[in-house]
């Protein structure tokens, strides 16, 4: 990654200074691999912002998308309908084992979070109008629109909303590294949630089951179930942000399945079209919809909502995932990676924690500079990783072979050792 090789084009980029063209320029993606413009091949341990679970260039998905583009790219879903939207909703109902849910579509994860918050707001209004506050994790990330940024307490996004709901943040407090998965951390967070719901106007709890941007943080075992129980005790809605964890990433179709928890609303997006185009969704339990005003509409909609081409790509992605057993592969390859990294790095100098679930395995270093060096060294060795603060995450596609997984683990271990030795 050589910043001097940046182009002088007029391109501005997300989450970067306006003229920052640092980082590699890629020209090709095939399966688990990317090729940069110098011809350097790297394993894509970012899965294209966690989107490409089936690997780059998955033929059936691309073909279905192109075929639908040729047949009918788009209709205005607020006026008329097209078959791919129906097909996708029915396929998703099967993936979610026929629970009584209805699926609403948007484009980005952020839009889908906004949509979920709108539904929650309608529900709370039908319930008497109070309890408009929302509870989220302090280190949660829910997107980049103004509302979504205000939901997060992360330093790069967290800011008090100028208007809109009051946000209460759940913090891990004194718990860091491995301690974040401890029984004591579980009790601390559940107690804090109970106290917020008892003493405030909060009626909606919006959490990630596994924190992505916050640092690849796994929740303590059992906490999601506790959160569900506390929500039930206080009549609060549980909205799960599965934008990162949904559609197979953690080795289950949805991360809440690991804990056997049933949310009221589930938001998901990454992986839904295997990176072919933007699409996000909210699954809303029928019991929530039943409480909304009968003639009322859900006040959301975007020009490209539920575009037939995007829905066709998503149907093909789900079919391809079934055909290739991608969810089981995410579970098994992810476990192999986690074992290898844990064996080599757990307790070593400079490493605070090795954690993960499915194909999202993180190494937490003891400072941001070391994590940056790990990222650079790993790239030179042939692994394109995801650095977030002091954490480096490996989130490759599920088409990674065992040999490739071992090679990726080797590169990461070597990069960590070199980065720590160079300090
Ligand atoms: C958990 C979570 N929620 C929401 C979002 C926002 O999604 P998008 O970037 O598509 O708006 C992200 C994106 O990384 C995410 O990880």
Report CA(194)–ligand 1 centroid distance (Å): 27
Tell the residue nearest (CA) to atom 3 of ligand 1: 142
**Would you say the CB of residue 116 lies under 6 angstroms from ligand 1?**
no
pLDDT exceeds 50 at position 3: no
Tell me the two tokens of residue 350: 């400079």
pLDDT exceeds 50 at position 338: yes
Ligand 1 atom nearest to 113, measured from its CA: 4
Which of 116-130, 338-352, 397-411 comes out lowest in average pLDDT? 116-130
Q: Among 273, 264, 359, which residue's Cα sits nearest to residue 308? A: 273
Report CA(141)–ligand 1 centroid distance (Å): 7
Across the strands, what pairs with 218? Answer: 210
**Would you say the CB of residue 213 lies under 6 angstroms from ligand 1?**
yes
**Would you say the CB of residue 243 lies under 6 angstroms from ligand 1?**
yes
Task: Render the burial of 234-261: b for 16+ CB within 10 Å, e for the rest.
Answer: bebbbbbbbbbbbbbbbbbbbbbbbbeb
Strand (E) positions, 163-233?
167-170, 202-207, 210-211, 217-218
Report CA(144)–ligand 1 centroid distance (Å): 8
Task: Please indicate whether residue 298 or residue 194 has the higher confidence score (pLDDT).
Answer: 194
Angstrom distance (rounded) from CA 34 to CA 383 = 9
Q: Which residues contact 258 (CB under 8 A, 6 or more apart)?
A: 209, 250, 251, 252, 357
Give per-residue pLDDT as tens, 236-275.
999 999 999 999 999 999 999 999 999 999 999 999 999 9
- Mean pLDDT (the chain) is 94
**Would you say the CB of residue 136 lies under 6 angstroms from ligand 1?**
no
> With DSSP H G I counted as helix, E B as strand and the rest as coil, what are the percentages for the chain, rounded to 5?
40, 20, 40
| Residue to mutate, 141, 217, 247, 249, ligand 1, most ligand atoms under 8 Å from C-beta | 141
Report CA(111)–ligand 1 centroid distance (Å): 9
Q: Among 359, 347, 286, which residue's Cα sits nearest to residue 55? A: 359
Which of 11-25, 121-135, 292-306 comes out lowest in average pLDDT? 292-306
Mean pLDDT of 386-407: 97
Long-range contacts: 83-92, Cβ < 8 Å, 24+? Answer: 83/308, 84/308, 84/309, 84/311, 84/312, 84/315, 85/306, 85/308, 85/311, 87/311, 87/312, 87/315, 88/306, 88/311, 88/314, 88/315, 88/318, 91/314, 91/315, 91/318, 91/319, 92/281, 92/283, 92/318
pLDDT exceeds 90 at position 122: yes
Looking at the chain, how many residues does it have?
Answer: 423
Supply the angle between the helices 326-345 and 308-324 in degrees, to the nearest 10.
70
Cβ atoms 202, 233 nearer than 8 A: no
Domain ranges of the chain: 3-58+325-421, 72-324
**Would you say the CB of residue 273 lies under 6 angstroms from ligand 1?**
no
Report CA(137)–ligand 1 centroid distance (Å): 14
Could you give the percent of the chain with pLDDT greater than 70? Answer: 97
Q: What is the pLDDT of residue 158?
A: 61
Tell the residue nearest (CA) to atom 16 of ligand 1: 244
Cβ atoms 45, 385 nearer than 8 A: yes
* Run of H or E residues at 6: none
pLDDT exceeds 70 at position 107: yes
Q: What is the pLDDT of residue 161?
A: 63
CATH label, 72-324, candidates 2.60.40.10, 3.20.20.70, 3.50.30.40, 3.40.640.10: 3.40.640.10
Q: Which residues contact 366 (CB under 8 A, 6 or more apart)?
A: 350, 351, 352, 390
**Would you say the CB of residue 141 lies under 6 angstroms from ligand 1?**
yes
Report CA(269)–ligand 1 centroid distance (Å): 8
Q: Band of the pLDDT at 294, cuts 50, 70, 90? A: confident
Tell me the two tokens of residue 142: 């829910």
Q: Is the dihedral of CA 84, 90, 94, 95 positive or negative?
A: positive
Cβ atoms 245, 209 nearer than 8 A: yes
SS3 state at 342: helix
Tell the residue nearest (CA) to atom 5 of ligand 1: 143
Q: Which CATH architecture has domain 3-58+325-421?
A: Alpha-Beta Complex (3.90)
Give per-residue pLDDT as tens, 61-99.
999 999 999 999 999 988 999 999 999 999 999 999 878
Tell the residue nearest (CA) to atom 6 of ligand 1: 143
Which of 8-17, 326-335, 409-418 comes out lowest in average pLDDT? 8-17
Report CA(280)–ligand 1 centroid distance (Å): 10
pLDDT exceeds 70 at position 285: yes
Report CA(414)–ligand 1 centroid distance (Å): 30
**Would you say the CB of residue 34 lies under 6 angstroms from ligand 1?**
no
């Amino acid at each position: 990654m050589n910043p001097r090789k940046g182009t002088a084009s007029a391109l501005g980029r997300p989450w970067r200074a306006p003229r920052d063209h640092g980082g590699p320029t890629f020209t090709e993606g095939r399966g688990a691999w990317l090729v940069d413009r110098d011809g350097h091949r790297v394993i894509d341990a970012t899965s294209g912002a966690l989107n490409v679970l089936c690997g780059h260039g998955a033929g059936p998905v691309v073909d279905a998308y192109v075929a639908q583009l040729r047949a009918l790219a788009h209709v205005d879903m607020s006026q008329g309908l097209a078959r791919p939207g129906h097909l996708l909703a029915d396929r998703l109902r099967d993936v979610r084992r026929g629970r009584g849910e209805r699926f609403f579509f948007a484009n980005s994860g952020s839009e889908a979070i906004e949509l979920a918050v709108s539904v929650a707001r309608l529900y709370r209004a039908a319930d008497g109008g109070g309890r408009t506050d929302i509870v989220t994790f302090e280190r949660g990330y829910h997107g980049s629109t103004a509302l979504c940024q205000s939901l997060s307490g992360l330093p790069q996004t967290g800011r008090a909303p100028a208007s809109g709901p009051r946000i209460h943040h759940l913090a891990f407090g004194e718990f860091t590294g491995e301690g974040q998965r401890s029984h004591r951390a579980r009790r601390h967070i559940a107690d804090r949630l109970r106290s917020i719901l008892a003493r405030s106007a909060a009626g909606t709890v919006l959490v990630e089951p596994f924190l992505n941007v916050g640092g690849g943080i796994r929740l303590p075992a059992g906490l999601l179930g506790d959160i569900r129980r506390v929500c039930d005790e206080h009549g609060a809605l549980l909205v799960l942000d599965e934008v990162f964890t949904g559609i197979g990433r953690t080795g289950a179709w949805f991360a809440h399945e690991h804990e056997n928890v049933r949310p009221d609303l589930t938001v998901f997006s990454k992986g839904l079209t295997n990176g072919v185009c933007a699409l996000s969704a909210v699954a809303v339990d029928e019991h929530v919809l039943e409480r909304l005003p009968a003639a009322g509409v859900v006040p959301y909609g975007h020009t490209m909502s539920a575009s037939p081409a995007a829905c066709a790509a998503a149907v093909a992605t789900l079919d391809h995932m079934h055909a290739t057993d991608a969810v089981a592969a995410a579970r098994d390859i992810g476990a192999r990676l986690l074992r290898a990294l844990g064996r080599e790095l757990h307790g070593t100098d400079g490493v605070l924690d090795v954690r993960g679930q499915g194909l999202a395995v993180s190494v937490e270093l003891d400072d941001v500079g070391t994590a940056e060096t790990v990222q650079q060294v790993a790239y030179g060795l042939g692994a394109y990783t995801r650095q977030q603060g002091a954490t480096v995450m490996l989130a490759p596609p599920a088409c990674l072979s065992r040999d490739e997984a071992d090679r990726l683990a080797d590169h990461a271990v070597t990069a960590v050792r070199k980065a720590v030795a160079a300090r």
